[in-house]
Amino acid sequence: MEFDYYEILELSRTASGDDIKKAYRKLALKYHPDRNQGDKEAEEKFKQINQAYEVLSNDEKRSLYDKYGKAGLENSGFGFSDIDISDIFNTFFGRRTANSSRSRSSMQEIYEVDLEIIINLEFNEAVFGCEKELEYSYKSPCDTCKGSGAKDGKTSSCVYCGGAGQIQMQQGFMSIVQTCPHCYGSGQMIQDKCEECDGKGFMEQKNNIKISIPEGIDNGNRIRVSGKGNVGKYSTGDLYVRARVKDHDKFIRHGDDLYIEIPVFFTQALLGESIKIQNLKGDDLDLNLPVGTKDKKQIIFENEGVKNARTKKKGRLIAQIKINTPNSINDDQRELLVKLQNSFGIKSGQTHAGDDGIFDRIKGWFS
């Protein structure tokens, strides 16, 4: 999606160079990945902030951008897909040294240490909570090659980047640093692959854990299990268990509220009877129909919904009435219904408006 660099840095188009630097410093620190670990939105925001600063802090690029937008930059040979945003950040905050690229790449994991898996839950399991045993696969460094992917753990410096893990490319008037595409930033090359892991540097392991599913978990919610993710060379990640909740054949969940459709015969609705319905647990509830209950009327039962996983407050059970009418009637039933109709002063063959507001309601159908 296209975004405006000035809006990203929260600046006007007349912002000075100092304004741009101040805005970048503030936002880059706020959205830096080290402060927002595991937050994908913050990570994306950090990338946008760096890209915006890369353009607006350069007079030539800013001029092109102001005149022609992003397309003007691309047509002039300026590209951004390969920019190392951490280089921009480190240079701006004075953290870059001659060996910074090498030290950073040497501490780089070859795979994401955080791990996400899906757990399928029955509707009632999600609402009332339960205990679940899970078996899942995770990555850990190969014992044979110590995670290097090389036979006997022996590697050599990458001949393309000289072991730096990064290479410089010239695009137009600008020199751009990007991750070495040959060693993928590690600075090392494998001569002979480790036979145990086929050069990947890691092995797949199995693990079994028992987790508690809290009451009220909803579809798409995640449970974090600390220290049970992938095992890296330098750190161990967390396991995130994402809930996938099956639908119920009678109840529909919306937030903490439960909805159920209750079929009611038209005579019950007219008479205003009291009927029994069941909540999700199977307990009986008394549903008192007002005389002349209309189709789709909703009757609310407080504290009969889902317990909120955070506040522990219960939602509502909302019973929506569905009026059922017979498809056919016999002669005796017809005679009784005609008498009932006549008792309301309604003659056969005539329309019955019901109230003076019917015309306004019909107009509302088309608005």
Break the chain into its structural domains and give their ranges.
Answer: 5-81, 108-151+197-247, 155-190, 248-366
Residue-wise pLDDT tens digits, 328-349? 999 999 999 999 989 888 877 7
Cα–Cα nearest to 129, from 58, 203, 218:
218
> Domain 248-366: which topology?
HSP40/DNAj peptide-binding domain (2.60.260)
**Arithmetic mean of pLDDT over the chain:** 83
| pLDDT over threshold 70, residue 73 | no
> Is pLDDT larger for residue 203 or for residue 2?
203
Q: What is the 3-state secondary structure (H, E, C) of the chain?
A: CCCCHHHHCCCCCCCCHHHHHHHHHHHHHHHCCCCCCCCHHHHHHHHHHHHHHHHHCCHHHHHHHHHHCHHHHHHCCCCCCCCCHHHHHHHHCCCCCCCHHHHHHHCCCCCCCCEEEEEEECHHHHHHCEEEEEEEEEEEECCCCCCCCEHHHCEEECCCCCCCCEEEEEECCEEEEEECCCCCCCCEEECCECCCCCCCCEEEEEEEEEEEECCCCCCCCEEEECCCCCECCCCECCEEEEEEECCCCCEEEECCEEEEEEEEEHHHHHHCCEEEEECCCCCEEEEECCCCCCCCCEEEECCCCCECCCCCCECCEEEEEEEECCCCCCHHHHHHHHHHHHHCCCCCCCCCCCCCCHHHHHHHHCC
pLDDT given for residue 83 in this prediction: 45
Confidence check: pLDDT of 97 > 80: no
Percent of residues, the chain, with pLDDT higher than 90:
47
- Please report the pLDDT score of residue 54 as a whole number: 87
Dump pLDDT digits (tens) for 258-272: 999 999 999 999 999
Equal CATH topology for 155-190 and 248-366: no
How do strand 317-324 and strand 298-301 relate by DSSP bridges? antiparallel
pLDDT at position 71: 67
130 in a labelled binding site? no
Q: What number does CATH give the domain 108-151+197-247?
A: 2.60.260.20
194 belongs to an annotated ligand binding site: yes
CATH of domain 155-190: 2.10.230.10
Average pLDDT of the residues in 25-32: 85
pLDDT tops 90 at residue 86: no
- pLDDT for position 315: 96
Q: What is the mean pLDDT of residues 200-221?
A: 94
**Is 183 assigned to a binding site?**
yes
Domain 5-81 architecture: Orthogonal Bundle (1.10)
The pLDDT score that the predictor gives to residue 283 is 96
Q: Is the pLDDT of residue 200 over 60?
A: yes
Please say if the pLDDT value at position 247 is more than 80: yes
pTM equals 0.60
- For residue 292, is it left (φ>0), alpha (ψ between -120 and 50) or beta? left
